[in-house]
Amino acid sequence: MGIIVSAAVPTVWLRPRRALPFFSRHPWVFAGAIGRIEETPVPGAVVRLATAEGEFVAWGLWNPASAIRVRLYSWDEDQRLDEAFWFQRVREAVAARRRLFGDGPAWRAGRMVSSEGDSLSGLTVDCYADHLLIQWTSLALSLREAVIVEALNSELASAGIWRRTDTGVVSKEGLPRNDGLVMGHAPPSDLTVVEHGIQYQVDIVEGQKTGFYFDQRDNRMAVAQLCQGRRVLDVCSYTGGFALTAAAVGQAASVHGIDGSAPAIERATGNAARNGLADRVTFEKADAYRFLEQAIQRGERYDVIVLDPPKMAKAREQIDSALRGYHGLNTLALRVLAEGGVLATCSCSGLIDRGQFESVLAEAALSANRRLRIIDSRGAAPDHPVSVHCPESAYLKCVLTLA
């Protein structure tokens, strides 16, 4: 992957009356907003975004294969998207984490770069002790990998950097599927991270997404505070984050986690044993809907239920089916929830906003004939900041409710 260098910077002109969102610093310029293009920029080229009348708006990177034709990075006409610029953006992102975490354990177990939230649209970087994992969601920015890696190394000494590709982005961006070692040593399959005093072995090479869901860090603690002496069910438990925190920190009486992935269940079971929690925490490979339906038939009740399903809407045409899926899952959970119990329900589908998700909860409560009160409505942990200029990047909803 190499930087695209061009002596002349092509101009991309917007359609008339389409400039306001970009003057307001929204970073995504979709194809429909573009009126005409000077010459034919190569993929990854720096381009100058201008109004229909030619007024400068911002500097960005061009990708003709993506619905997001231009991602914007600077609104300063005197700024250039050169190596010094990318170094500074990475430096600012890492400095923000130092302010958040100081020298605490989260400093070496969390997200160091969060795409739009750090004005680096198309890049996420997670830190796992001495290893970094980078994930590209922009072809154009990925062509700057060498300088980005150099910048990361200058700020975060690491034993190795591993690259993973989001399979859902490959076709949308024209990104090559190119997972592998970028520099240093490959991460071990039993890499250990510590969160809230709990040790987790994670696999950042073969595990889901980037290996561990740091975005739920604070939500796991919030749920744990409601679990003392309770019987807890963790649906879509993955490697056991909510389950183990409920037991270790929240002092739950018992916790049962279910997940459809056999490797995740094996990893979660090992994590429970590793932390001395196997007597109170169990895991089972099961389909979420079928397990809840069978629990209803058996008359089982849980005091606290966590729903943290995978993303259900990856494209706009999937929104309706996703809303139905969330409705069905939450309705079943409410039928298993004990009177006065807590339902902590999550959605990581960015295409579904908080209002839509909470409306689904209201409909699920009616379907289950349950009274439901929202006691907290939460988002991602602070190392996953959201740009005020790109609110749709606030993908995670974690709603705590009381029945």
List the CATH number of the domain containing 112: 3.30.750.80
- pLDDT at 314 (0 to 100): 85
Within 196-260, where are the H helices? Answer: 217-224, 241-248
Strands (DSSP E) found in 214-330: 231-235, 254-259, 281-285, 302-307
Q: What is the pLDDT of residue 399?
A: 99
How far is Cα 157 from Cα 70, in angstroms, rounded to an integer? 32
Please indicate, yes or no, whether residues 179 and 196 belong to a single structural domain of this protein. Answer: no
Flag whether 2 is in a domain.
no
Does 387 share its domain with 271? yes
Cβ(322)–Cβ(312) below 8 Å: yes
207 and 167 together in one domain = no
Same domain, 334 and 358: yes
Helix (H, G, I), strand (E, B) or coil at 392: helix
- What is the count of structural domains for the chain? 3
369's tokens:
């004939």
Amino acid residing at 94: V
- Clarify whether residues 248 and 271 are in a common domain: yes
Judge whether 4 lies within some domain: no
The answer on 241 and 202 residing in a single domain is yes
User: Are residue 292 and residue 353 in the same domain, yes or no?
Assistant: yes
**187, 232, 319 from 175: Cα distances, Å:** 23, 41, 24
Q: What is the pLDDT of residue 292?
A: 98
Q: Is 236 considered catalytic here?
A: no
Residue 132 within a domain: yes
Would 154 be classed as within a structural domain? Answer: yes
Q: What is the pLDDT of residue 5?
A: 47
262 and 296, same domain (yes or no) = yes
Global pTM reads 0.92
Give the other-Cβ count within 10 Å of 358's Cβ. Answer: 16
- Residue 230 falls within a domain, yes or no? yes
Provide the domain limits for residue 129: 83-184
Residues 50 and 91 placed together within one structural domain of the fold: no
* pLDDT tens, residue order, the chain (403 aa): 455 544 589 999 999 999 999 999 999 999 999 999 988 899 999 999 999 999 999 999 999 999 999 999 999 999 999 999 999 999 999 999 999 988 766 678 999 999 999 999 999 999 998 999 999 999 999 999 999 999 999 999 899 999 998 877 888 898 988 899 999 999 998 899 999 999 999 988 887 667 789 999 999 999 999 999 999 999 999 999 999 999 999 999 999 999 999 999 999 999 999 999 999 999 999 999 999 999 999 999 999 999 999 999 988 899 999 999 999 999 999 999 999 999 999 999 999 999 999 999 999 999 999 999 999 999 999 999 999 999 989 999 999 999 9
Considering 184, 201, 220, which residue would you say is the last residue of a domain?
A: 184
Exposure class string for 360-398: b at 16+ Cβ within 10 A, else e: bbeebbeebebebeeeeebbbbbbbbbbebbeebbbbbb
Do the domain assignments include residue 1?
no
Task: Write the CATH number for 314.
Answer: 3.40.50.150
Single out the catalytic residue among 227, 236, 346, 348.
348
- Do 180 and 197 lie in one domain? The reply is no
Same domain, 167 and 280: no
pLDDT of residue 7: 58
Residue 253 lies in a domain: yes
Residue 263: strand, helix, or coil: helix
Using the 3D structure, point to which of 74, 104, 126 is the last residue of a domain. 74
| Same domain as 354, residue 228 | yes
**51, 74, 97 - which closes a domain:** 74
